[in-house]
Structure 1
């Protein structure tokens, strides 16, 4: 039911006398309609950003919004009467509340699992407290103290025994020079007995140590076993609750279709899916027959990770982007990305979907134009399961036979090859390993580069203590080589073409930051602080030998920036 108090006039946020250039969107919320495959886009315009800044001014004046950092969103909508209004939302809970006056309601369905949620949260809290108690057992500290004391005693004893052993060796040499016969034998026997006594003394101390420490160790081992059991219980309970919530949460699109999160993504979605601003706003608009015109999301409050107060952010790749195609369905599709001036337009894709555009397909392989923000393959954890591969496996009849030939970084867009059988995968993988595949990337750098072309050679190493960050390390690093050529200089930015001759993790990103001294626009991991809406790196071209067709294929995907 429409709550008119949530429909706020634009004048609540900005001075309507001020003219805002609303022609060039800075970002698009986009997704492919699951039914038609059409690309649907909702812009983040200068007007909606100005409205969002008006909301920031309001938040800054109220201390309640300074307690925690979170995402906030605004959606400009058109009423059936043609009037324009603004609705606003916050992610998750606001000061522990899901329903706050003046903000759109959470996605419906939570009330259906409210009792189960409360019961599960109580159990999870009890598990948490028991784990803390087991981790802080006094026996642990007692064991550490006693173990250190025995270790010190053994060290002192070892030093003393070693000194005595040296003395006995010297005595044996002297006795051998001044004594003979039975007298020498008795003297040497006394030295041997002293050596045996040292061994007995050491074994006695070790037995004493084991007598004292073993009961404590057994107690601690039992506690650690219990902790593992509790963590497994916690994991199971959390998954059960999340599954219940995903089965209960229901989203509506602009066709009037209503599906649960579980129906939308049967393989599972990360914790918190549906609690972000964008799904809340779009669901509310669709439910109440409001036409969305523009949307913006920003971070407010204490910084967290790469989130900075007052900065705008795109749809999160894990929770929101997988839902965008469905949520925007029913809207009229917007024009596609314009090609940059002088660019070459790639052939029309055979079909498009939530995985990206299929730019080539035959019975042996698929080439996808992967969108930025989507993983190539699923990760190890539940919240990193959404990917090009998992989506294709769910949507294609032969999906379970698909095998990725290579990978692109989550933030990188462009051509991704996927084999449809193991035989094709083996042949294509060998070409990658033997560096027979020719790849061309295009990027925009956040600064000027003086050298027009060249080769970058640096040893790259992924420090296991600082993943996924890669660094130049002349001792541990593996060799990596990249050719580059400047395409154009666009104001303070530089457009560059890369040809990687090796395929190290983050190779182009590190080669740019270290080798050229300028980061790729939008590469926050390697130090780009510009407010770009994505990593401006695109896998534009790829050439390889098709093992079944016995010919070289050259594929091209137009750079979207």
Structure 2
């Protein structure tokens, strides 16, 4: 994998080097000057991408193996219906791959729904199909969760199933910006220094998200994952 594909170096300067001196990763340093510098550069790019509005973005300030300072960028979930965009880290697991089991599984769910809604399907068949749909959906979701494996700073890998233990992972777990950024950094032997996440654009789902404001990683989906990744 090409490290340079997602890594964006800062312009080398004494000020940047000084800001990074003694900096160790913490979820509390989202507003560190280097985080804000990375955010400002990413937001300058986002201003020219109007179709990307209404999304959580994140930056991770990193130091490479050669000591170069820069940052990685990520978005939560999908962006414009896609998992891959130039300049952003890839997903931990790509369920959109053509011919993959996710697409096949969703196609089967669509067929079941069509049968349920067909006027030719009697009441008994409908109930049987609903049970089949639930079982298939549960099995598909479990298989998806098994594909998400996250590294920690020691190089140890755990799946979402292992991370959440006796709890079912919430839908969308593993798709947030923070875990995606840390995963890419660990894979490429980069040292994480500071993480910042912000909402960009309007929100159609909730008034909670405000354009340009910073937010901590969500507790429901990310806290367990990050606890492992930072251990």
TM-score over 0.5 for the pair: yes
Matched with 2:213 is 311
Deviations 1:30-86 (A, max 9, x none): xxxxxxxxxxxx6212321342233223212222313xx221110000112222111
The whole-number CA distance in structure 1 between the counterparts of 2:186 and 2:76 is: 18
Q: How does 1:415-454 map onto structure 2 within 5 Å?
A: none
Q: How does 1:279-298 map onto structure 2 within 5 Å?
A: 279-298=179-198
The whole-number CA distance in structure 2 between the counterparts of 1:265 and 1:291 is: 25
Kindly indicate whether residue 108 of structure 2 is the aligned counterpart of residue 236 of structure 1.
no
Q: 1:45 aligns with which of 2, 11, 31?
A: 31
Point out where structure 2 has 5 or more consecutive residues left out of the alignment: none
The whole-number CA distance in structure 2 between the counterparts of 1:129 and 1:297 is: 40
Other structure's SS at 1:233 match: helix
Matched with 2:77 is 92
Instruction: Answer yes or no: is the 8 Å Cα contact 1:251–1:327 preserved in 2.
Output: yes
Larger RCO (CA under 8 A, 6+ residues apart): 2
Q: 1:311 to 1:128 in 2, by over 3 A?
A: farther
Deviations 1:460-509 (A, max 9, x none): xxxxxxxxxxxxxxxxxxxxxxxxxxxxxxxxxxxxxxxxxxxxxxxxxx
Other structure's SS at 1:319 match: helix
The whole-number CA distance in structure 2 between the counterparts of 1:302 and 1:112 is: 29
Kindly indicate whether residue 134 of structure 2 is the aligned counterpart of residue 254 of structure 1.
no
Deviations 1:67-113 (A, max 9, x none): xx221110000112222111001111112211222111111475899
The whole-number CA distance in structure 2 between the counterparts of 1:241 and 1:114 is: 15
Q: 1:126 to 1:53 in 2, by over 3 A?
A: farther
Kindly indicate whether residue 171 of structure 2 is the aligned counterpart of residue 271 of structure 1.
yes
Matched with 1:65 is 52
Instruction: Answer yes or no: is the 8 Å Cα contact 1:2–1:288 preserved in 2.
Output: no
Measure how far apart 1:252 and its partner are: 1.0
Matched with 2:41 is 54
Aligned alpha-carbon RMSD (Å): 3.3
The whole-number CA distance in structure 1 between the counterparts of 2:127 and 2:199 is: 36
The whole-number CA distance in structure 2 between the counterparts of 1:228 and 1:277 is: 39
The whole-number CA distance in structure 2 between the counterparts of 1:308 and 1:233 is: 41
The whole-number CA distance in structure 1 between the counterparts of 2:58 and 2:172 is: 16
Measure how far apart 1:2 and its partner are: 4.5
Instruction: Answer yes or no: is the 8 Å Cα contact 2:83–2:94 preserved in 1.
Output: no
Measure how far apart 1:274 and its partner are: 0.9
The whole-number CA distance in structure 2 between the counterparts of 1:299 and 1:111 is: 24
Deviations 1:442-465 (A, max 9, x none): xxxxxxxxxxxxxxxxxxxxxxxx
Q: 2:225 aligns with which of 308, 323, 348?
A: 323
The whole-number CA distance in structure 2 between the counterparts of 1:16 and 1:87 is: 21
Instruction: Answer yes or no: is the 8 Å Cα contact 2:197–2:215 preserved in 1.
Output: yes
Q: 1:299 to 1:64 in 2, by over 3 A?
A: same
Point out where structure 1 has 5 or more consecutive residues left out of the alignment: 30-41, 138-218, 330-561
The whole-number CA distance in structure 2 between the counterparts of 1:112 and 1:93 is: 13
Q: 1:123 to 1:10 in 2, by over 3 A?
A: same
TM-score after normalising by structure 1: 0.36
The whole-number CA distance in structure 2 between the counterparts of 1:241 and 1:61 is: 37
The whole-number CA distance in structure 1 between the counterparts of 2:215 and 2:113 is: 33
Other structure's SS at 2:62 match: strand
Q: How does 1:496-535 map onto structure 2 within 5 Å?
A: none
Q: 1:117 to 1:59 in 2, by over 3 A?
A: same
Matched with 1:101 is 86
Which of the two has greater strand per residue?
1
Q: How does 1:374-389 map onto structure 2 within 5 Å?
A: none
Instruction: Answer yes or no: is the 8 Å Cα contact 1:299–1:309 preserved in 2.
Output: yes
